[in-house]
Amino acid sequence: MRAVIQRVRSASVYVDGVELSGIDAGLLIFLGIRGGDTALDIEYIINKSVGLRIFEDDAGKMNLSVADVAGEILVVSQFTLYGDCRKGRRPSFTSAGSPKAAQKVYDEFVDAVTARYPKVKFGRFQAMMDVHIVNDGPVTMLLDSSRAF
């Protein structure tokens, strides 16, 4: 499982021109699901995301988590995080989870992150979405549950 975490001033997601959900200051999590991801991968990404100290304290140092600043989280599924561009010019998505399997893992992620943190909103799995982001910083972090980076 992979995640791109962005610290945002605000973020919202639209489907067919209609706002599905949006947040004020907090984290935008683009979530990629790999074939074979398990509950351990889910917990790793949630624990890292919610605990990631990328918000500034009174001294101006990145020392606070989203929970510490009472921020919100927006989760948007993004299978392209498993796009492999090492060969040729057309990405391969063979490492991404199949739609049916990935939907199951995504639903488990939704349940787990909602149980862990109350201020979470979501995009729509497998939908073509427009994501509007006002980055804060910008601060962007990469997570991979297999610790590839």
pLDDT at 149: 84
The contacts of residue 42 (CB under 8 Å, 6+ apart) are: 1, 105, 108, 109, 112
Question: What one-character DSSP code corresponds to residue 106?
Answer: H
* CA atoms 125, 126, 129, 133: torsion sign: positive
Please, where are the H alpha helices in the chain?
39-51, 99-116
3-state SS class at 3: strand
Taking only the tens place, the pLDDT of each residue in 48-71 is 999 999 999 999 999 999 999 999
pLDDT at 148: 86
Measured between alpha carbons, how far is 101 from 32 in angstroms, rounded to an integer?
Answer: 12
Residues marked active site are found at 78-80
pLDDT at 78: 96
Measured between alpha carbons, how far is 74 from 21 in angstroms, rounded to an integer?
Answer: 8
Measured between alpha carbons, how far is 61 from 54 in angstroms, rounded to an integer?
Answer: 9
Measured between alpha carbons, how far is 73 from 50 in angstroms, rounded to an integer?
Answer: 9
What residue ranges of the chain have pLDDT lower than 70? Answer: none
pLDDT at 90: 95
Query: Closest by alpha carbon to 66, among 16, 12, 120?
Result: 120
Cα-Cα end-to-end distance for the chain: 12
Amino acid (one-letter) located at 117? Y
CATH number of 2-144: 3.40.190.10, 3.40.50.720, 3.50.80.10, 3.40.50.300? 3.50.80.10
Structure-token pair, residue 95 = 């490492």
Residue spans of the domains in the chain: they are 2-144
pLDDT at 118: 94
Measured between alpha carbons, how far is 130 from 143 in angstroms, rounded to an integer?
Answer: 23
This model's pTM is above 0.85: yes
